[in-house]
Amino acid sequence: MPKPIKVAVCGGGRGGTALAADLTFMGCRVNLFELPRFAASLEAIRQRGGVELTGDTQSGKTGLARFNAVTTDAEEAVRGVDLILLPVPAFGHQAFFEAIAPHLRPGQSILVNTCYWACLRFAPLLKKIGIFDEITLAEALILPYASNVVGPAQTFIHRTKKQDIALAAFPATKTDQILEMVWAFYPQHKKAPNVLWTNLGNLNTPIHAPLTIPIAGMLFDRFTDGRQGGAKFYGEATTPGALLVAAYDRERLAIGKALGVELQTEEEMMFRMYGYKGKDLADAMRKSEHADMFTDVAFHHGLLLEDLRYFYVSMAELGEELGIPTPVTRSILTVMSTMVGIDYTQEATTLKDIGLAGLSAEEMVRFVTTGKA
């Protein structure tokens, strides 16, 4: 049994409840924190006395996990904890950082499980309040779980990812100290040289928008709620969509090469992470366990918002900064914005926001490694 640590898990959704419950089974003292405006989502957990966790758990245990605290008070949630986890979508990062930042104390560590430039986006906030140098801020490539809330205070883990979840701190000189803590419970995380690797290696960004475009009419016009028989998004994957993923990947890999980041294609990552394979990515997805998962429209809109607004815009800007053409990335942004009526370039994360604007490739690498350009 790993040495018990005190953990605050931010967010009472599918990822947060899976993490909180399984870490409890692994001996951690867990505080589950939700923002006050979502307090209603915690009522069933309070009434039940915890979360009933089932499925492919990391701990190997299932059943009712009882937490140390279930709270909407940020100060109570992070007081005295060693590790703070943020498994929420990118568009939820800011609200949680603003809630917990005033209550952070020296020696604590923050791991954002859903990268999307989180370290570079929120380092300025932590510097402003004078705590950045005294804590460790890190991000991971992806959550260790594919999970769903299946009922009141009930979470099911479809699959636990067993390997190759890249993790890096900002600056990268702090990665070792948080990785040692995370390894006690999630040894599938591996050290990445810096946060350029976690973001450019994100498993999600290459697949959602490109696979959506060929089936957008069916997805957005015919289905409304996956829990009531909506679209099996991956089960409907098409070869044209797979070709679009591959074209986007060529631009992503070219940018990675310019920054010294070793990357794999989405098809290669799906095989490495899940064991999925086929004659192309679409065939692999149609044969996969993901093929039977329903996706409701609201959730899918969230996936697109996360990928396009919090990564595609900045990737296109990276290409421009480094002299690498990104016509496919920019076209996906334009087409998706047109089809769903949302301008994903508005309020998007830019290179200026993450401190990389105007830097050469060498300066970018130096900045994420040392904190100084």
pLDDT (tens place) for every residue of the chain, 373 residues total: 456 799 999 999 999 999 999 999 999 999 999 999 999 999 999 999 999 999 999 999 999 999 999 999 999 999 999 999 999 999 999 999 999 999 999 999 999 999 999 999 999 999 999 999 999 999 999 999 989 999 999 999 988 988 889 999 999 999 999 999 999 999 999 999 999 999 999 999 999 999 999 999 888 877 655 555 568 899 999 999 999 999 999 999 999 999 999 999 999 999 988 889 999 999 999 999 888 888 888 888 999 999 999 999 999 999 999 999 999 999 999 999 999 999 999 999 999 999 999 999 999 999 999 999 7
CA angle, 159 as apex, 153 and 164 as ends, to 5°? 125
Per-residue pLDDT, 6: 97
Domains in the chain (CATH in brackets) are 6-200 (3.40.50.720), 208-370 (1.10.1040.10)
Handedness of CA 213, 215, 216, 219 (dihedral sign): negative
Strand runs labelled E in the chain? 6-10, 29-33, 51-55, 63-65, 69-71, 83-86, 109-112, 136-140, 145-151, 154-160, 165-169, 189-191
pTM of the model: 0.94
Q: What are the two backbone dihedrals, phi and then psi, of residue 113, each rounded to the nearest 5 degrees?
A: -80, -10
Q: Are strands 136-140 and 109-112 parallel, antiparallel or unpaired?
A: parallel
In which residue are the tokens 């044969």 written? 287
Per-residue pLDDT, 348: 98
Q: Edge-to-edge strands of the sheet including 69-71?
A: 69-71, 29-33, 6-10, 83-86, 109-112, 136-140, 165-169, 189-191
Per-residue pLDDT, 215: 93
